[in-house]
C-alpha cells in the first residue's frame, strides 16, 4: 500500500462521519418544508374543496409528525365558516403494536371544528359528500391506522333551507377508536372499541359506546347510546314554525341500542319526555287559534303522561329492524308501547340491555335461514311450473 493511498483512507475516515452528520442535519432541516408542500398539494386536489396547513413539526425520535392549522374550505361557496378547521393533528407510529409484529399508526386530533351547512343550493351547502376523507387520512399517514382519537371536538350543523334558520352544535366531543386494524384481539367477533362523550347546544350529555369489526367493508357493530337532559324549550323555533305551539318547559332523554351484522339491523330508539308543559295562560303575543291548539296538545300530553310521585314522564320504544339500505320502524309496536307506558307500566330512564350481540346475531341468522328455505321452496315451485 502506497503512502498516497494510506493518506486518502485516513482522510475518508476522518471526514466521513462529519459529512454524514451535516447531511442528516440538512435533511432534518429540509424535511418539514418538504412534508408541508406534500400535505398542501394533497389538500389542494380535493373534489370541490381546497385545503392548506401552516406548518409541519417532525419528531423523529418517536416516529411522528404534527400538522398545524389544517383548514379545508368549499370552492366558490357562500358559507363563511370553513368546513374543517383543526389546530393540531399528531400522526405517529404505535410502538406497542410493533412488539406484536404489526407496523401501524395512531392519529390524535386536537380541538377540531367541522361546520356542516344544509342549504337549498350547492353554493349555500357544505357537507363533504364529494370527498373520500378516509383516503385523505391514508395519504397523510402512509401506514394503517390502529388507533384514532379526537380531543375536544366541535361539530356545527347549520340548516339554512328552512325558516327559521336552525343551528345545532355538539361540543366537548371526545372520541377514541381502539384496535382498528385488529392487532391486539383477533379471535372475537367485534375486536374494536369505540367511545364518544360530549354535549349539545340544546343541553344534555352524550354518551356512546360500541364494539365493532371495522376491517369489514361494511362494519359489524353493537352499540348503546344515550342523550340525557335536552331542554325542549330550545326547539321552540321549530315547534312554532311547524306546529304553531310553544313549549313552556320539558326535558328529553333518548336511549338507543343497536346490533348490525352483514348489513342487517336490530335495535330500538327510546325517547322519554319529562315534565312537558306546552300551554300557558300567561304567554303573550299569541293568537286565539294558537292558544286553542296548545291547549289541545297539552291535554293530549296529559292523557299519556305517567305520573308516579313527582315525576311526569311520557315514553315509547321504537323498534328498528331490517336491512341497512332500508331500515324500518314498526308503527303498530310504537303505538302499543306508548299506551302500555301510559296506563300499565313506566319505562325506566336507562338502557334496556335487551339488545345483545350473540342473541341478536343468532336471531338474524335464523331469519337468513328462513329466507333461504323460502327461496328454495319458490325455486321448486318455479321448476314444477316449467315442467
Residue 344 has pLDDT above 50, yes or no: no
> pLDDT by residue (tens digit) across 120-179?
787 888 888 878 887 788 788 888 999 999 999 999 988 766 666 678 899 999 999 999
Q: What is the b/e burial string over 62-80, where b = at least 16 CB atoms within 10 angstroms of the residue's CB?
A: ebbbbbeebbbbbeebebe
Measuring CA to CA, how many Å separate 162 from each of 48, 78, 286?
24, 17, 22
- Structure-model confidence comparison of residues 205 and 248, the more confident one: 205
Model pLDDT, residue 377: 64
Model pLDDT, residue 177: 96
Q: What is the distance between the alpha carbons of residues 112 and 173, in angstroms, rounded to a whole number?
A: 9
Domain ranges of the chain: 40-184, 203-357
Cell numbers given for 183: 392487532
> pLDDT by residue (tens digit) across 28-61?
676 778 888 888 888 887 888 889 999 998 888 8
Residue 336 has pLDDT above 60, yes or no: no
Measuring CA to CA, how many Å separate 5 from each of 1, 2, 13, 16?
7, 5, 13, 16
Rounded (10°) CA dihedral 218, 220, 224, 228: 0
Do strands 145-159 and 105-110 pair parallel, antiparallel, or not at all (unpaired)? parallel
pTM here is 0.74
Per mean pLDDT, which of 2-11, 36-45, 64-73, 284-293 is the most reliable?
A: 64-73
Q: What is the distance between the alpha carbons of residues 244 and 249, in angstroms, rounded to a whole number?
A: 16
Selection from 91, 35, 100 nearest residue 63 by Cα:
91
Amino acid at each position: 500500500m502506497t503512502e498516497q493511498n494510506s493518506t486518502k483512507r485516513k482522510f475518508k475516515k476522518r471526514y466521513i462521519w462529519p459529512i454524514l452528520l451535516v447531511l442528516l442535519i440538512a435533511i432534518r432541516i429540509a424535511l418539514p418544508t418538504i412534508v408541508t408542500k406534500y400535505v398542501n398539494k394533497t389538500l389542494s386536489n380535493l373534489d370541490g374543496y381546497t385545503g392548506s396547513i401552516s406548518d409541519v413539526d417532525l419528531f423523529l425520535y418517536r416516529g411522528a409528525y404534527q400538522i398545524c392549522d389544517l383548514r379545508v374550505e368549499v370552492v366558490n361557496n357562500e358559507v363563511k365558516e370553513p368546513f374543517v378547521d383543526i389546530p393540531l393533528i399528531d400522526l405517529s407510529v404505535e410502538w406497542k403494536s410493533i412488539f406484536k409484529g404489526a407496523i401501524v399508526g395512531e392519529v390524535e386530533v386536537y380541538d377540531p371544528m367541522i361546520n356542516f351547512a344544509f342549504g337549498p343550493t350547492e353554493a349555500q351547502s357544505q357537507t363533504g359528500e364529494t370527498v373520500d376523507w378516509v383516503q385523505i387520512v391514508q395519504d397523510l399517514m402512509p401506514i394503517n391506522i390502529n388507533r384514532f382519537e379526537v380531543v375536544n371536538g366541535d361539530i356545527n350543523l347549520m340548516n339554512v333551507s328552512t325558516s327559521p334558520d336552525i343551528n345545532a352544535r355538539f361540543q366537548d366531543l371526545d372520541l377514541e377508536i381502539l384496535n382498528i386494524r385488529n392487532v391486539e384481539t383477533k379471535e372475537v367477533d367485534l375486536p374494536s372499541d369505540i367511545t364518544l362523550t360530549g354535549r349539545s347546544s340544546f343541553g344534555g350529555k352524550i354518551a356512546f359506546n360500541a364494539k365493532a369489526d371495522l376491517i369489514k367493508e361494511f362494519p359489524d357493530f353493537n352499540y348503546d347510546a344515550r342523550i340525557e337532559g335536552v331542554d325542549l324549550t330550545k326547539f321552540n323555533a321549530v315547534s312554532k314554525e311547524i306546529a304553531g305551539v310553544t313549549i313552556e318547559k320539558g326535558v328529553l332523554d333518548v336511549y338507543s341500542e343497536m346490533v348490525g351484522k352483514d348489513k342487517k339491523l336490530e335495535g330500538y330508539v327510546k325517547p322519554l319526555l319529562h315534565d312537558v308543559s306546552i300551554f300557558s295562560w300567561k304567554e303573550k303575543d299569541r293568537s286565539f287559534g294558537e292558544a286553542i291548539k296548545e291547549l289541545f296538545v297539552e291535554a293530549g300530553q296529559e292523557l299519556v303522561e305517567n305520573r308516579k310521585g313527582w315525576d311526569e314522564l311520557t315514553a315509547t320504544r321504537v323498534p328498528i329492524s331490517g336491512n341497512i339500505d332500508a331500515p324500518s320502524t314498526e308503527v303498530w309496536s310504537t303505538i302499543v308501547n306508548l299506551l302500555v307506558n301510559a296506563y300499565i307500566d313506566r319505562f325506566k330512564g336507562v338502557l334496556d340491555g335487551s339488545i345483545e350481540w350473540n342473541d341478536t346475531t343468532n336471531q338474524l341468522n335464523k331469519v337468513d335461514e328462513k329466507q333461504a328455505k323460502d327461496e328454495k321452496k319458490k325455486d321448486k315451485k318455479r321448476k314444477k311450473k316449467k315442467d
